[in-house]
Amino acid sequence: MREAYHEELALINEGLVDMANLVGSAMGMATTALLDADLQLAEIVISGSEKADDLQRDLENRAIAVLARQQPVATDLRVVVTSLRMTADLERCGALAQHVAKLARMRHPERAVPRDLRRTILEMGQLAQRLMAQATEVLITHDIDAALQLEKDDDRMDELHRTVFQHLMDEQWHHGVETAVDVTLVGRYYERFADHAVSVAQRVVYLVTGERAGELTASGPV
């Protein structure tokens, strides 16, 4: 019985890894769709969001079943509850990728991002995908130092987000209000996606150590 219980916990973690891979890939495709005005790719991301929703429901059902059947305590309870919270983070990431894809579809055949911001938005998209890949690796390895490093790597996303607003506030901005709204939303989508990736890593820190990420440093004892 105990072996089956731990196998169930392992399956929940595998599901989290699958979900993280899925939403990371979705954001990569959504970014390409946005910058290239690729309607077909945007539709793939939008229609594929149901798979992430299905994974979330399956993981939630598994976690609730473990709570009901096993009544875990201490560390095992922390694993189950933390996993439930991570599914919510990953679900939001999937929704944010879908928002990017929907913006690409709404502006097709035009491109939502003006030429002078394409490089910044491309870097934001690539960074968002990379942060989720790092969070996925943390889910697999439970490497606390790597988890803590993720928040530092997220600082670059904040810098890029500020760059977007600097463009919008520049007196030479000539792309109009509609494009300004589009770019503002896109920048926010990437920033929030990155925040959720960091949150996943921070939850792994808590899962492993029982301490909040803010209470630890990457160089300190774990």
120-171 residue pLDDT tens: 999 999 999 999 999 999 999 999 999 999 999 999 999 999 999 999 998 8
Nearest to 151 by CA among 95, 209, 88, 212: 212
Confidence (pLDDT) at 2: 63
Radius of gyration of the chain (CA): 19
- Going by pLDDT thresholds of 50, 70 and 90, the confidence category of residue 77 is confident
Please check the confidence at residue 24 and state whether its pLDDT lies above 90: yes
Please check the confidence at residue 209 and state whether its pLDDT lies above 80: yes
User: Is the separation of the CB atoms in 198 and 148 below 8 Å?
Assistant: no
**What's the pTM?**
0.92
C-alpha span between 204 and 6 (Å, rounded): 17
Could you tell me the sign of the dihedral formed by the alpha carbons of 203, 206, 209, 212, in that order? positive
C-alpha span between 86 and 94 (Å, rounded): 12
Confidence (pLDDT) at 220: 53
